[in-house]
Amino acid sequence: MTRLIVNPHDLNRDEFLTPFDKIFDQMMSKQFPAFQEEVGVSFNKGAYPKVNIYEYDDKIGIVAEIPGLDKKNVSVEVEENMLTISGDKHGFEDDGAKCITRELKHSSFKRSFNLGDHLDGNDVSANFKDGMLSISIPKKEPELPKKKMVKIS
């Protein structure tokens, strides 16, 4: 007979890792403050879903890995210059079975990014396929200083 040995700490894996995710986000924001100011993407608003952020000449791309969800369970919103990815991730529950190890995340999630003054929140596009969410945020054209002639009296 084979026995399955379960580490009781595995049952609270998310509770254990969340503080480390927050510390990582804080370190990234301190290491790259110019990136945050110039591009407007903040590392401070949560750690799930994990993302890669890419800068192009004309836009910022965010790719988020959200396995196990359909497009209907994921939402991308822009409100008051804040882009938010959210969703509801509830998985398989076996009828009457006792869960021995719980490593799969089953909950709602929300992660936000401050778009700052350099990104256009009115023209955001998103695509979701095979658990990968791709978001494209165009950069705003920098406003040139306005010149005004002052009448001398």
Please check whether residue 62 lies inside any domain of the structure.
yes
Q: What angle do CA 29, 42, 75 make, to 5 degrees?
A: 145
The pTM assigned to this predicted structure is 0.60
Please check whether residue 2 lies inside any domain of the structure.
no
**Three-class SS state of 35:** helix
pLDDT, position 45 = 46
Please check whether residue 37 lies inside any domain of the structure.
yes
Please check whether residue 3 lies inside any domain of the structure.
no
Range of the domain at 17: 8-91+101-138
Q: What percent of the chain has pLDDT over 90?
A: 30
CA distance 103 to 105: 6
Q: How far apart are the first and last CA of the chain?
A: 100
Q: How many domains does the chain have?
A: 1
- Specify the amino acid at residue 36: Q
pLDDT, position 11 = 42
pLDDT, position 147 = 85
Please check whether residue 145 lies inside any domain of the structure.
no
The pLDDT tens digits for 78-119 are: 999 899 999 887 666 667 788 788 777 667 888 888 888 889
Mean pLDDT value across residues 133-139: 95
State the CATH number of the domain containing residue 77.
Answer: 2.60.40.790
Please check whether residue 35 lies inside any domain of the structure.
yes
